Amino acid sequence: MDAKRILYITQEMTPYLPETEISKICRYLPEGIQDLGREIRTFLPRYGVINERRNQLHEVIRLSGMNLIIDDTDHPLIIKVASIQSARMQVYFIDNEDFFHRKAVFASDDGTEFEDNDERSIFYVRGVLETVKKLRWIPDLVHCHGWLSALAPVYLKKMYGDDPGFSGAKIVYSVYDDPFMSSLNKALPEKMKQDNMTDKDLNLLKNSTDFIGLSCLAIRYSDGVIQGSQNINSAIFDYIEKENKLFLPFQPDDSYIGAYNEFYDKVFTIKSRR
């Protein structure tokens, strides 16, 4: 177990957000993996529904201050941090007033999904990777949870593929039963091409920026795939088989931490491809 640094990029985590399948796993998995001897870093968006005072978030000035350009618009990147004392674990938060200060996570009160969820995903993923670079912390493996993190694998392989901080990192994507109903903005591929990606890199999004297309893109650029929910979309499952990815089926609550840890070791042995 020489490779010890695991980066977790998640869209949900309890106690900062209500308890869901993803938020529970992303609370207890990093702690469990840390207890097994690995070093971890965990990132989460600083949604407006997260109470900063109650959760004792504070800004990390030395990491903040950068601007990320998305579709020719500058967006300030603010980094905050909080601690889960019982787990001896810090959680980093990606913050931006335009994208994350609304009092909802993915949709308005009437269920209408935010039109800028595509840019929120880009900003979040790039914000995590730029912050990790500033930390000078080189992960051996990046584990992504939830569709908001689904762009991370392609960004790691393409935009950051030659970066010495990420070029050797393996990527694992967990597939959950957490679909969004409306397709993301159809201009998403064009916005990503501004980050040095090509039509070939993004062809899975050419005709489909829906949940299936986004999930398949994440799977294509990952080294291993975990079934995070007991039931997942059949088209996504078929794509996992088509891509012949190293795959871990759904694991019950009482054994998933150990199973994921063993799966990481298997992922470290395979040769990555771009």
Neighbouring C-alpha atoms within 13 Å toward the C-beta of 32: 16
* Pairing mode of beta strands 89-95, 141-145: unpaired
CA gyration radius, the chain: 17
CA dist., res. 198 & res. 231, Å (int): 33
Residue 6 pLDDT exceeds 70? yes
- Asked if residue 107 belongs to a domain, the reply is yes
Domain count of the fold of the chain: 1
How many beta carbons lie within 10 A of that of residue 94, not counting itself? Answer: 25
The residues, ordered by sequence, that sit 6+ positions from 161 with a Cβ below 8 Å of its Cβ are 167, 274
Q: Is residue 271 part of a domain?
A: no
Mean pLDDT of 70-88: 96
Q: Flag whether 52 is in a domain.
A: yes
Yes or no: say if 55 and 16 are a contact pair by the CB < 8 Å rule.
Answer: yes
Contact 42, 30 (CB under 8 A): yes
Task: Copy the structure tokens of residue 151.
Answer: 């762009």
143 belongs to a structural domain? yes
196: left (phi over 0), alpha (psi -120 to 50) or beta: left
| 273 falls within a domain | no
Residue pair 182/191 in contact (Cβ under 8 Å)? The answer is no
Domain CATH number, residue 99 = 3.40.50.2000
Scan for tokens 């993923």, then name that residue. 125
What pLDDT is stored for residue 207 in this prediction?
85
The answer to the question of residue 172 being in a domain is: yes
Q: What are phi and psi of 126, to 5 degrees?
A: -65, -35
Report whether the peptide linkage leading into residue 15 is cis, meaning its omega lies within 30 degrees of zero: yes
Residue 3 confidence (pLDDT) above 80: no
User: Residues 107-151: pLDDT tens digits?
Assistant: 999 999 999 999 999 999 999 999 999 999 999 999 999 999 999
268 lies in some domain: no
The per-residue pLDDT of the chain, averaged, comes to 95
Neighbours of 97 (CB within 10 A): 11
Q: How far is CA 152 from CA 41, 104, 179, 201, 230, in A?
A: 15, 23, 17, 13, 23
Reported as a single tens digit per residue, the pLDDT across 11-36 is 999 999 999 999 999 999 999 999 99
Q: Name the residue range of residue 62's domain.
A: 5-263
Q: Kindly state whether residue 269 falls inside one of the protein's structural domains.
A: no
pTM: 0.97
